[in-house]
A and B are shown apart, each in its own frame.
Chain A
Amino acid sequence: MAKPVVKKEYTLGERIYLLEILKGMALTWRHFVFNVKASFRPEPHTVPTCWQYPEDRTREISPIFRGLHMLCLDEKGREKCIACGTCAKTCPAHCITVKKGKRKEGEEDKYASKMYCASFDIDLLHCIFCGFCQEACPKEAIVLGREFELAQYTREECHLDKQKLLANYRKAKEEGKLRPPRKAVPVVKPPPKPEAGAPKTTEGKAGKPAVAGKAKKGQVEVKKAAEKAKGAGKAESGD
């Protein structure tokens, strides 16, 4: 396993070191001058690429940033969550625990549905912020917000219970940092159903992916209606 011997071929300019070094120095000098000039600009953005983070919070964070979780309320201020537990099942880190509760008489202004979550716990130390819970949620109740400063001193503080989740929502609403509603991606339309009486083929079985996926580009039609898209959102949202 002898190593190949490499012949070094240099041009004269490369051989004498200094020429290329001077060129490089000219380049760093240009950067230096530019940045020195820039550093005399008014605060907070002196040098264009630097954010003076704890003081300077002007950096725009994506509205769909996957940060701290929250439990959403609907327009009437009722809890959206129906305690179906899809989020807990979907979570790859198994960090969500949901307990069901049944709505009693006179609590209609508190909970949107007959079922509600008696407790909703998220262990932030386990969470990997993949966003699967919000994608799986049929009611868009659990949502990942824009809050990203999650360091705490104790383990207890890293544990989100229902009250904290609701408080996160109220805080985000106050600051106008609510996540825009999720746009479901358009899904390939299922192929037309076989005519009645025709021999039953595998195509008939709805959702058999091996066939459904074979729809060619030309045949593809798109679901436009929002309800349909929402339904698709359910279908796609994994197991």
Chain B
Amino acid sequence: MEGWVIAIIKVVFIWAWVLLIATVMTWVERRGAAMMQDRLGPNRAGPFGLFQPLADGIKLFTKEEVLPKKAHKVLWSLGPLLFALPAFSAYAVMPFGDKIVLGGKEIILQVSNVNIGFLYILAIGSLAVYGIVLGGWGSNNKFSILGGLRSTAQLISYEVPLGLALLAIVFVYGTFSLRDIALAQQGTFLGFLPNWGIFKQPLGFILFMVAIYAEANRVPFDLPEAESEIVAGYHTEYGSMELGLYLFGEYVNLVTLSSLIVVLYFGAWHIPYIDVSKFLGPVSWGIVSFLIFYLKVSFFLWLFVWVRWTIPRFRYDQVMGLGWKALIPLALFNLFITALFIQLAA
């Protein structure tokens, strides 16, 4: 019974927390973009415009839902749901801190420590494409269909290098559990480097970064919703909260993927060279590890914004070319090298 309560608390907590980050992200994106472009950005709602996401949310909720006459009703309403739900549920296996000891009971900061966490995230992540395709198809709009098709091709192609990069990580750590990988990154590597995934898998990290930008439909891979080409791609016809779900799902996706980078390549809640847990009590360490983790996550979230407002967009065939001609061979090469090193070290 107690286990259930703790699990539910953890689920509600992390759900609210991710939601909060995603909300703030919409503000960060707009405001950050404005600052890079010598503008002001939203600054009316609340201090520094911080309540802007709230105002947007209210606007989206109170807007009329417009269903195009020839849209497929079921698929139309299924689209946003299928997009947003996987984005949230992927967080179920994500560790967000070390552990916290309350009343003599050790609680790990992870909703559930599944030993195939990896595969779960890959599987759930692939589901998101259905949301986009169904939305694009259900809208019965040529631009939407184009957007949906672009996204299918793109997501499927980039899942291969993503999976191969992750496989190399599995080679290194010998486990599928995300928590175990996070724990394994303590200490130093080769005596002077922090024992982080990025130093063991530098090439794999770059491949993974590129692949997740494609997975998240962000610039330079935002083809499915390229606003200057196909209006808004798969969500051209959507309005009100259905559009809100798409937009929101995208930011939740960003949080999930950024967390994944931190867990796999940036030592999760570890700080290089110092073992903070020795200086802190069990409760405070839990909180501090949580904060460290999200500090790192926020950097990667910012990176998404930063890159978006710096570079142009790829073309459809160039995305495919990059995926199949550059990333996949490199990923295979990376896998081979990793295997070789492990074999030699053994």
A–B touch (CB < 8 A): the answer is yes
Does B284 touch A at the CB level, under 8 Å?
Answer: no
A233 to chain B, nearest CB (A): 42
Partner of A31, one of B38, B206, B311: B38
B206 to chain A, nearest CB (A): 8
Number of A positions contacting B (CB below 8 A): 18
Q: Does A48 contact B306, Cβ atoms closer than 8 Å? A: no
A36 CB contacts on chain B under 8 angstroms:
35
Q: In the complex the two chains form, what is the Cα distance from A33 to B39 in whole Å?
A: 13
B310 CB contacts on chain A under 8 angstroms:
21, 24-25, 27-28
Partner of B40, one of A25, A27, A39: A39
Does B37 touch A at the CB level, under 8 Å?
Answer: yes
Q: Does B35 contact A39, Cβ atoms closer than 8 Å? A: yes
Q: Does A28 contact B36, Cβ atoms closer than 8 Å? A: yes
A18 CB contacts on chain B under 8 angstroms:
206
Does B32 touch A at the CB level, under 8 Å?
Answer: yes
Residues of B whose CB lies within 8 Å of any CB of A are: 32, 34-40, 206, 306-307, 309-311
How many A-B residue pairs have C-beta atoms within 8 angstroms? Tell me.
43
Q: Does B39 contact A31, Cβ atoms closer than 8 Å? A: no
Chain B residue at minimal CB-CB distance from A25: B310
Does A29 touch B at the CB level, under 8 Å?
Answer: yes
B324 to chain A, nearest CB (A): 16
Residues of A whose CB lies within 8 Å of any CB of B are: 18, 21, 24-25, 27-29, 31-32, 35-36, 39, 46-50, 52
Partner of B307, one of A21, A31, A39, A52: A21
Q: In the complex the two chains form, what is the Cα distance from A69 to B258 in whole Å?
A: 59
A21 to chain B, nearest CB (A): 6
B179 to chain A, nearest CB (A): 31
Q: Does B38 contact A24, Cβ atoms closer than 8 Å? A: no
Q: In the complex the two chains form, what is the Cα distance from A212 to B310 in whole Å?
A: 58
B311 CB contacts on chain A under 8 angstroms:
21, 24
A25 CB contacts on chain B under 8 angstroms:
306-307, 310
Partner of A35, one of B35, B206, B306, B307: B35
Q: Does A31 contact B35, Cβ atoms closer than 8 Å? A: yes
B306 CB contacts on chain A under 8 angstroms:
25, 28-29, 32
15 A-B residue pairs with Cβ-Cβ distance under 8 Å, sorted by A, are A21-B307, A24-B310, A25-B307, A28-B309, A28-B310, A29-B36, A29-B306, A31-B35, A31-B37, A35-B38, A39-B40, A48-B38, A49-B38, A50-B39, A50-B40
